[in-house]
Amino acid sequence: MTLLPFSFSEALPADGVTGTTAERPARFDRDLAKGGHPEPLLRGASRTEYLRDLVRATLLKEVVRRHRIRPGAGLEDVAHWFFSNTAKKFSFRTLAAVARVTSPTTAEKSTRLLSEAFLLFTLNRFTFKAPERATANKKAYVVDPALAVCLGTRPGQDLRRLAENVVALALWRRQWAGEIEVAFWMNTAHEEVDFVVRERGRVARLIQVCWDLSDPRTPAREFRAPVKAAAGLRCDAPWCLTRGAGGDEDFTWQERTHRSRVVAIDEWAAQGG
């Protein structure tokens, strides 16, 4: 049996919070940094010390001993890079250079071992062509946002990336259960959609994480790529998960009005994605 950190929906009742509409937004903000490992949540253990010890033990038991590889071998450097760069695209060539491992092949192997040890997971770029999917850059996320906050080099990583990580986790759990397939979308102009969700081989939903829509310029920036992707993939109106009230948002592109559904991210996460 594999036990994962609490999701947002699981953590709400775990420490006595009812998760009402009024409580959820503030609780979601706090959980971005607190994460979902039960020991710090339920017993008050030092989060940073607990996670540091957990990662070291996991690397030793689940990677070094199980796969009989040399201790060190760049694994800690690779893990630290991922903790510091959650929700970012990467290539194995770039990872090999910045994490100081011997080759892209070694970087790819390290990433796979860390994924198998449930410290992180990766998403592929969406494409119908298998060769492109194999060679395109990937995006990486940690299995608990607290790993990024406590063990990354930038403890105050921007909230938008941490929120994206929470959404990725909820979708990844459903993918792991065999319910959906998840990828990210990017066109030749490097415009990006955070998540493409497929059900039974069909693109069912596009999801963009937009932490703050209060700036009038933000919708034009955040909705452009999802609207383009929805037109090309012939799917329903994209969803925008944001910190705030839900509703519908109209966006004009190529002299046509397109509608996006805006959903409060805490509500979406409380329902398990």
Q: Which carries the bigger pLDDT value, residue 8 or residue 230?
A: 230
Average pLDDT of the residues in 196-216: 90
Q: Predicted confidence band at 162 (pLDDT cuts at 50, 70, 90)?
A: very high
pLDDT of 157 > 60? The answer is no
Average pLDDT of the residues in 105-110: 93
Are 111 and 95 contacting, i.e. CB atoms less than 8 angstroms apart? yes
Give the chain as a DSSP string.
----PPPHHHHHHHTT----TTTHHHHHHHHHHH-S-HHHHHH---HHHHHHHHHHHHIIIIIIIHHT--S-TTHHHHHHHHHHSTTEEE-HHHHHHHTT-S-HHHHHHHHHHHHHTTSEEEEPBP-S-HHHHHHS-EEEEESSHHHHHHHSS-TT--HHHHHHHHHHHHHHHHHHTTS-EEEEEE-TT--EEEEEEEETTEEEEEEEEES---STTHHHHHHHHHHHHHHHHT-SPPEEEESS--EEEEEEETTEEEEEEEEEHHHHHHTT-
pLDDT one-digit tens code per residue, 132-151:
887 899 999 999 999 999 89
pLDDT one-digit tens code per residue, 217-236:
777 788 889 888 988 898 87
What does the pLDDT read at residue 120? 96
